[in-house]
């Protein structure tokens, strides 16, 4: 629904050249891929729900480039976006996800028993462990495009599904527009509360419309399993705990996700998934597993080592500050997580984090003792 | 040179609203009768209106005050010929529950036809915002004959600068919340083309935001002319800042007293200003400049959006009628501390702002004083109100300097 793309047919009165955006100063995946020819070819198309090419690209037109990272510059308004606008999205997906081809198949593996190790990360260094992903509910349009009625329906269905969880997953839903001051305070202290997005990358895509209508947070009693409803995706699912037991975090993640999915399926609304793109989410960067598994880890010496960046690249991990994306590290503590999303499974990605962090902690210990780490630098994974 | 976007060459007194649908057909209709407006393409709807009605319980803006579930249900299936919908029009008011200091309007128009298609919501909003103006029955007077202004020279020991601004929209092209990139570029082309025809003390130059040099940018900043991408969520939520800075720019005359913003919150914002207290000269230039620009666009087959009920059509309903804000920066150190200051301003139909414009605070005791009203009175009347009012304020200030008492003036008719 983003604005100005009133009725697409009206725009066809102008020539493609007249509507083509000025991307001369832009540096994002969309700007790289959107040639005039592709624009002309796709501009008269719509998904069944009415999402158009200009809707897809608006965020990339409005946000020429990010200072630190190459942003995607486009979003999906529904599941069909990835089909109808393939000619634009396939090259973007390939560029973003290491050459992933339109014919490639993505493997989903949420069997936590396939993870080796992960229960022995040194808690003197690894302060906390977390795995998150997103899920979209089949049959509904996505946050950039949905109407209030649809968003509320997503919330209703999600809360119904979450309320069936029991045992370690038994929990409660806190809608953003009804929470009490006390509840809000507690959620802030737990670092659970999410707020209206401020990033222009998200705002320009129309995801924050009608805030805080139909947005909320669900978490279990133990505060180790958390679901965000209607933020950047229909659902963001998070498993976390203090310390380094990534094995347990991942177990809870997989079990919880599977339980939730069963409930949605019973209502005839499974998750959006296909064998080429894996789990379908709003941002093309989150396709595949949509998984970011990571730790907060103390690496004051390693992080100042000249080969730090290269080590991370070889391990297929990335660093962020402890505030998440686009933040800086505080006190030598970094958020280290998997760089990949599409083309490898959940188990494989979490395995990379587990193995990578274990190695980085050993390197940190070596550097503490004044020893060199050159022999430990791994080959490219 | 006209393109396939319809524009009627009509005189201002002849109301011709046009709608362009699909293959370039031209429908000119007289829009007093709402039924004649052609509805646009079907709005995609999956849920009933009751499931879509926004939650406005914590809201305090004009839209929220008047958007009943019944009106929502009635209008939610409608679209203007360009495809602009109710949900788009109200989005800014849904996303921005209330402003701490003022009751905001909470909705915008995407095109000229919005004011017809969504009249059932817009008319009550207009009535509330514009002191009971009834768009169904009343007519708005337009008067740009600046010779009628009297006493338009202020005491320059008090008045530091004088300014008059308004907006103008180009008929046949959608407004900033809804326009496509091509339409926005067309607005820029039409206006810049016309401005290139200005001569004499109005002759000037255009600076496109996309291609201005660093030096030009610095100069425009130093002159306090440069406008930047809106940051107010009131504006960004309505979609006005899309594709920034494509097709945005600033034009000003060589003497820097006549300035036009292109494609900011409106198609054009027209500003006449100078240091000192010669409001008469500012208003003279304002009127002659506007008329000249209008003549130049009409030569090419374009015209401004205007009708007898609502005057000049602009993006925000608060700017209908004249769209005019005439004001001064004036030093009122004693009067501003007098407890009667607000009441005096009220009765004079004036408002105060800080010297940074709307939502800013006064610096020292220099205030921006301007007219409150926009619709229902003409340009001449409103500028006269400012002239008479500011003269009164200066008179009060002088009295207080001499230790004399001041009087609250009787309230002006709204």
Question: Which of B40, B179, B181 is the best residue to mutate to test the A interface, defined by the most A CB atoms within 10 Å of its own CB?
Answer: B181
Q: In the prediction, which pLDDT does B2 show?
A: 36
Bridge partners, B258 (sequence order) = B272
Q: Binding residue per annotation — B353?
A: yes
Q: Is A10 on the interface with B (CB under 8 A)?
A: yes
A61 and B243 within 8 Å at the Cβ level: the answer is yes
Q: Which residues of A touch B21 (CB under 8 A)?
A: 10
Q: What is the ipTM of this complex?
A: 0.90
Share of chain A above pLDDT 90, in %: 83
Low-confidence winner among B174-178, B195-199, B364-368, B379-383 (lowest mean pLDDT): B364-368
Q: What are the tens digits of pLDDT across the range B290-342?
A: 999 999 999 999 999 999 999 999 999 999 999 999 999 999 999 999 999 99
Helices (H) and strands (E) in chain A, counts: 13, 10
- How close A171 gets to chain B, by Cα (Å)? 26
Q: Is A68 on the interface with B (CB under 8 A)?
A: no
**CA–CA separation, A12 and A21 (whole Å):** 15
Closest CA to B378 of B116, B148, B132: B148
Q: Is A375 on the interface with B (CB under 8 A)?
A: no
- What are the Cα distances from residue B230, in Å, to A103, A119, B225, B268, B297? 43, 50, 15, 15, 27
Q: Taking residues A335-341, report their average pLDDT.
A: 96
Q: Binding residue per annotation — B269?
A: yes
Q: Which residues of B touch A20 (CB under 8 A)?
A: 181
**CA–CA separation, A30 and A64 (whole Å):** 10
Strand spans (E) along A78-137: 126-135
Q: In the prediction, which pLDDT does A326 show?
A: 66
B246 and A21 within 8 Å at the Cβ level: the answer is yes
Q: Binding residue per annotation — A117?
A: no
CB within 8 Å of B350: residues ≥ 6 apart: B369, B370, B371, B372, B385, B386, B389, B390, B393
Residue B276: count of CB within 10 angstroms of its CB: 15
**CA–CA separation, A130 and A125 (whole Å):** 15
**CA–CA separation, B344 and B161 (whole Å):** 21
**CA–CA separation, A196 and A193 (whole Å):** 10
- How close A55 gets to chain B, by Cα (Å)? 11
Tokens at residue A14, please? 């102008």
Q: Which residues of B touch A8 (CB under 8 A)?
A: 83
Q: What are the tens digits of pLDDT across the range B264-281?
A: 999 999 999 999 999 999
Angle of the A246-266 helix axis to the A148-162 helix axis, nearest 10 = 120
Q: What are the tens digits of pLDDT across the range A194-250?
A: 888 889 999 999 999 999 999 999 999 999 999 999 999 999 999 999 999 999 999
- How close B206 gets to chain A, by Cα (Å)? 19
Of A379 and A326, the one with more pLDDT: A379
Q: Is A62 on the interface with B (CB under 8 A)?
A: yes
**CA–CA separation, A32 and B176 (whole Å):** 27
Q: What are the tens digits of pLDDT across the range A8-23?
A: 778 888 999 999 999 9
**CA–CA separation, A10 and B40 (whole Å):** 10
Q: Taking residues B59-85, report their average pLDDT.
A: 95
Please say whether the beta carbons of B118 and B112 come within 8 A: no
A6 and B44 within 8 Å at the Cβ level: the answer is no
**CA–CA separation, B270 and B289 (whole Å):** 9
Q: Binding residue per annotation — A323?
A: yes
**Taking the model in full, what pTM does it have?**
0.89
Bridge partners, A288 (sequence order) = A278, A279
By C-alpha distance, the chain A residue nearest B76 is A147
């Amino acid at each position: 629904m983003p604005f100005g793309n009133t009725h697409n047919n009206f725009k066809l009165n102008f020539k493609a050249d007249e509507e083509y955006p000025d991307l001369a100063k832009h540096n994002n995946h969309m700007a790289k891929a959107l040639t005039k020819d592709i624009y002309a070819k796709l501009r008269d198309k719509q998904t069944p729900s009415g999402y158009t090419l200009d809707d897809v690209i608006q965020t990339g037109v409005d946000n020429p480039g990010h200072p630190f990272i190459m942003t995607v510059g486009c979003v999906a308004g529904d599941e069909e976006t990835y089909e109808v606008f393939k000619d634009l999205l396939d090259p973007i997906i390939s560029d973003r996800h290491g050459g992933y081809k339109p014919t490639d198949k993505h493997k989903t593996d949420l069997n936590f028993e396939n993870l080796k190790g992960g229960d022995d990360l040194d808690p003197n260094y690894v302060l906390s462990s977390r795995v998150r992903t997103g899920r979209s509910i089949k049959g509904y349009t996505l946050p950039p495009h949905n109407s209030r009625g649809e968003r509320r329906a997503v919330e209703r269905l999600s809360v119904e599904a979450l309320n069936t969880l029991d045992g370690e997953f038994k929990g409660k839903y806190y809608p953003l527009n009804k929470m009490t001051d006390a509840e809000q305070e507690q959620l802030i202290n737990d670092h659970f509360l999410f707020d209206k997005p401020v990033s222009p990358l998200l705002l320009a895509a129309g995801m924050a419309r009608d805030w805080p209508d139909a947005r909320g947070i669900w978490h279990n009693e133990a505060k180790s399993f958390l679901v965000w409803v209607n933020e950047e995706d229909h659902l963001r699912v998070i498993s976390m705990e203090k310390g380094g037991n990534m094995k347990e975090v991942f177990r809870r993640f997989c079990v919880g996700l599977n339980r939730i999915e069963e409930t949605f399926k019973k209502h005839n609304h499974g998750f959006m998934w296909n064998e080429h793109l894996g789990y379908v989410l709003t941002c093309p960067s989150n396709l595949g597993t949509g998984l970011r598994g990571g730790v907060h880890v103390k690496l004051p010496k390693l992080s100042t080592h000249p080969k730090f960046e290269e080590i991370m690249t070889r391990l297929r991990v990335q660093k962020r500050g402890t505030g998440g994306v686009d933040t800086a590290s505080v006190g030598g503590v970094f958020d280290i997580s998997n760089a990949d999303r599409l083309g490898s499974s959940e188990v494989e990605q979490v395995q990379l984090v587990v193995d990578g962090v274990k190695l980085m902690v050993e390197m940190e210990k070596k550097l503490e003792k004044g020893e060199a780490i050159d022999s430990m630098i791994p080959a490219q994974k | 040179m006209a393109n396939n976007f319809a524009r009627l060459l009509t005189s201002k007194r002849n109301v011709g609203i046009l709608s362009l649908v699909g293959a370039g057909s031209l429908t000119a209709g007289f829009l007093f009768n709402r039924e004649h407006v052609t509805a646009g393409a079907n709005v995609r709807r999956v849920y009933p209106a009751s499931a879509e009605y926004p939650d406005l319980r914590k809201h305090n803006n004009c839209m929220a005050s008047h958007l009943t579930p019944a009106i929502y249900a009635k209008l939610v299936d409608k679209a203007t010929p360009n495809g602009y919908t109710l949900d788009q029009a109200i989005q800014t008011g849904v996303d921005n529950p209330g402003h701490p200091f003022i009751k905001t309007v909470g909705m915008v128009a995407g095109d000229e036809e919005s004011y017809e298609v969504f009249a059932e919501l817009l008319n009550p909003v207009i009535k509330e915002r514009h002191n009971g103006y009834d768009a169904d029955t009343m007519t708005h007077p337009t008067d740009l004959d600046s010779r009628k202004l009297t006493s338009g020279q202020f005491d320059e020991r008090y008045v530091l600068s004088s300014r008059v601004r308004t907006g103008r929209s180009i008929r046949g092209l959608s407004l900033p919340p809804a326009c496509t990139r091509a339409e926005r570029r067309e607005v820029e082309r039409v206006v810049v083309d016309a401005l290139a025809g200005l001569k004499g003390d109005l002759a000037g130059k255009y600076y496109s935001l996309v291609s201005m040099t660093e030096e030009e940018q610095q100069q425009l900043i130093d002159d306090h002319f440069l406008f930047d991408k809106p940051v107010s969520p009131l504006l960004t939520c309505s979609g006005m800042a899309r594709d920034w800075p494509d097709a945005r720019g600033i034009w000003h005359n060589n003497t820097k007293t006549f300035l036009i913003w292109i494609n900011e919150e409106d198609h054009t914002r027209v500003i006449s200003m100078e240091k000192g207290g010669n409001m008469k000269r500012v208003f003279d230039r304002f009127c002659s400049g506007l008329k000249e620009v209008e003549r130049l666009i009409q030569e090419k087959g374009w015209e401004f959006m205007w009708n007898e009920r609502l005057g000049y059509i602009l993006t925000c309903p608060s700017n209908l009628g004249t769209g005019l804000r005439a004001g001064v920066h004036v030093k009122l150190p004693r009067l501003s501390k007098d407890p009667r200051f607000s009441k005096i301003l009220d009765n004079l139909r004036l408002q105060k702002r800080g010297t940074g414009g709307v939502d800013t605070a006064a610096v020292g005791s220099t205030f921006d004083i301007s007219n409150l009203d926009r619709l229902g009175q003409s340009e001449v009347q409103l500028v006269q109100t400012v002239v008479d009012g500011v003269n009164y304020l200066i008179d009060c200030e002088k009295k207080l300097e001499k230790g004399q008492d001041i009087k609250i003036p009787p309230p002006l008719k709204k």
